[in-house]
Chain A
Amino acid sequence: MISILTTYWPDFVEGLKYTLSASILALIGSLIIGLIFALFVINPLKPLRVIGHVYIEIFRNIPLLVVAMFFYIVMPQFIPHLDGFTAGTIGLIIYTSAFIAETIRAGIESVDLGQMEAARSNGMTYLQAMRYIVLPQALKIVIPPLGNQFVNLVKNSSVLAFLAGFDLMYQGNLIASTTFKTTDTYLAVGLLYLILTMPLSYFMRYLEKRWSQGTAE
């Protein structure tokens, strides 16, 4: 395993770069879209609520691979030069945003309703109350699950391997098929994934524990 790692180190680094950039881009994109749909779902306006629910239910119940493959195989007919990396990242954004929307919605709803009412009766508009009163309180509840979503993103970005997205999994497959040292290569790939995901998921568990003690039940 060590010899595979040292011999093919540049390829692994290349893969790590693509895996990390896909994950980070997808996190930013899905945070924005997820927040929008979370605000739709808790909105007083019924049409927006319906749109929000439909979006979340659809993308929570369809495999990521189907969404990503759709952008890789079907969309280039309409948008030329859509490469595997971009298609995969768009797929990750759309898929993950449904889960993030759910997480943010749960976070917002866990903030006491009185907070919104108090802010409104102090003369704030709905959007002001949301922006300055409710969302900051929801943030603390939402950060550990969002961190876990990022861990999921790093793991899920391995679907880029299906789309020639040059990520870690893709590079690993190339190395495995040229060297025939499948076991060593996959162990090395696994180790690199763990270096990315383990520290973050332990940190999120720590935050969850610490912050839940702060807001004693």
Chain B
Amino acid sequence: MQNFIDAYSWINLRFLLEGLWVTIYVSAISVVLSFIIGAILGFIRYMKIKYVSAIVGFLIDVIRNLPLLLIIFFMYFGLPSTIGVRLSTVNAAIVALTIFESAMLAEIIRSGIGAVDIGQMEAARSNGMSYLQAMWYIILPQALRRMVPPIVSQFVSLVKDSSLATIILLPELMFHSQVIYGQNTNYMIPMFVALAVLYFIVCFLLSQLSHLLARKLG
């Protein structure tokens, strides 16, 4: 018990919260970027443009089937020797997370749009709407309702996955907890409890957002 009281001293807690802030900061930027890129890629794949869609689709499948950890390693250790660009840990983490998650989101968005009945598009077009109008007013609102739960759970994955960036010493929550229990092994269990609780709170709140959005759209 004393271990817990000592481990949760204000200095340690503040250090953990600083880590949590980096986790949230990196995740938030990656969420926004990967949503934009994922939507564009998902669209390209959905539209079946000759060659382009097939190539984009293949690249998406390649990234989806690689471990995120490998992509993180590559962005941090591989890029300098490949193209001579050295990213900071924060940027490497954001780039790796964005690449990986936008491939995941592209697939969710493509299949979400694809799941809307083709008749909807045909009906809208024969009522005189242009392709873009039909997409924006008819197809997307219906697809969005279906896509919200998987998209939000992908965002939850992103927050959890950001912990992998510990390996390139990104000063996020997991890394900060390791620094604390590295100083005193008695703090190991309290730190893991804190990690579990903090990640759970962030991810659980985020996943509740999905229900809220679903109700609003539904």
A residues with CB within 8 A of B: 57-58, 60-66, 69-70, 73-74, 77, 151, 154-156, 158-159, 161-162, 169, 172-173, 176, 180-183, 186, 189-190, 193-194, 197-198, 201-202
Q: Which residues of B contact A180 (CB under 8 A)?
A: 81
B residues with CB within 8 A of A: 61-62, 64-70, 73-74, 77-78, 80-82, 156, 160-161, 163-164, 166-167, 174, 181, 188-189, 192, 195-196, 199-200, 203-204, 207
Residue of A63, A77, A162, A186 ringed by the most chain B CB atoms within 10 A: A63
Q: State how many angstroms separate the Cβ of A15 from the closest Cβ of chain B.
A: 12
A190 and B70 contacting across the interface, CB-CB below 8 Å: yes
B70 and A193 contacting across the interface, CB-CB below 8 Å: yes
Complex Cα–Cα for A70 and B193 (A): 10
A197 and B65 contacting across the interface, CB-CB below 8 Å: yes
A198 and B82 contacting across the interface, CB-CB below 8 Å: no
B204 and A57 contacting across the interface, CB-CB below 8 Å: yes
Interface of B is mostly: helix
A65 and B174 contacting across the interface, CB-CB below 8 Å: yes
A58 and B65 contacting across the interface, CB-CB below 8 Å: no
A63 and B67 contacting across the interface, CB-CB below 8 Å: no
Contact among B69, B73, B174, B207 for A66, CB-based, below 8 A:
B174
Interface of A is mostly: helix
Q: State how many angstroms separate the Cβ of A71 from the closest Cβ of chain B.
A: 10
Q: Which residues of B contact A151 (CB under 8 A)?
A: 65
Q: State how many angstroms separate the Cβ of A176 from the closest Cβ of chain B.
A: 7
A182 and B164 contacting across the interface, CB-CB below 8 Å: no
Complex Cα–Cα for A77 and B195 (A): 19
CB within 8 Å for A158 and B67 given contacts A61-B156, A61-B200, A66-B174: yes
B174 and A173 contacting across the interface, CB-CB below 8 Å: no
What would 26 A/B residue contacts be, using CB atoms closer than 8 Å?
A: A60-B156, A60-B203, A60-B207, A61-B160, A61-B203, A61-B207, A62-B195, A62-B199, A63-B160, A63-B161, A65-B174, A66-B196, A74-B192, A151-B65, A162-B166, A172-B70, A182-B73, A182-B77, A182-B80, A182-B81, A186-B70, A186-B73, A189-B70, A193-B66, A194-B62, A201-B65
CB within 8 Å for A162 and B65 given contacts A61-B204, A190-B70: no
Output the nearest chain B residue to A66 by Cβ-Cβ distance.
Answer: B195
Contact among A77, A156, A182 for B67, CB-based, below 8 A:
A156
Q: Which residues of B contact A70 (CB under 8 A)?
A: 192
B164 and A159 contacting across the interface, CB-CB below 8 Å: yes
Output the nearest chain A residue to B159 by Cβ-Cβ distance.
Answer: A63
B81 and A183 contacting across the interface, CB-CB below 8 Å: yes
Q: State how many angstroms separate the Cβ of B62 from the closest Cβ of chain A.
A: 6
B68 and A155 contacting across the interface, CB-CB below 8 Å: yes
Complex Cα–Cα for A193 and B67 (A): 8
Q: Which residues of A contact B74 (CB under 8 A)?
A: 182-183, 186, 190
Q: Which residues of A contact B200 (CB under 8 A)?
A: 58, 61-62
CB within 8 Å for A161 and B189 given contacts A61-B204, A183-B78: no
Residue of A57, A62, A161, A172 ringed by the most chain B CB atoms within 10 A: A62
Residue of A64, A66, A159, A183 ringed by the most chain B CB atoms within 10 A: A66
Q: Which residues of B contact A64 (CB under 8 A)?
A: 160
B189 and A74 contacting across the interface, CB-CB below 8 Å: yes
Output the nearest chain B residue to A58 by Cβ-Cβ distance.
Answer: B200
Complex Cα–Cα for A186 and B32 (A): 27
B66 and A190 contacting across the interface, CB-CB below 8 Å: yes
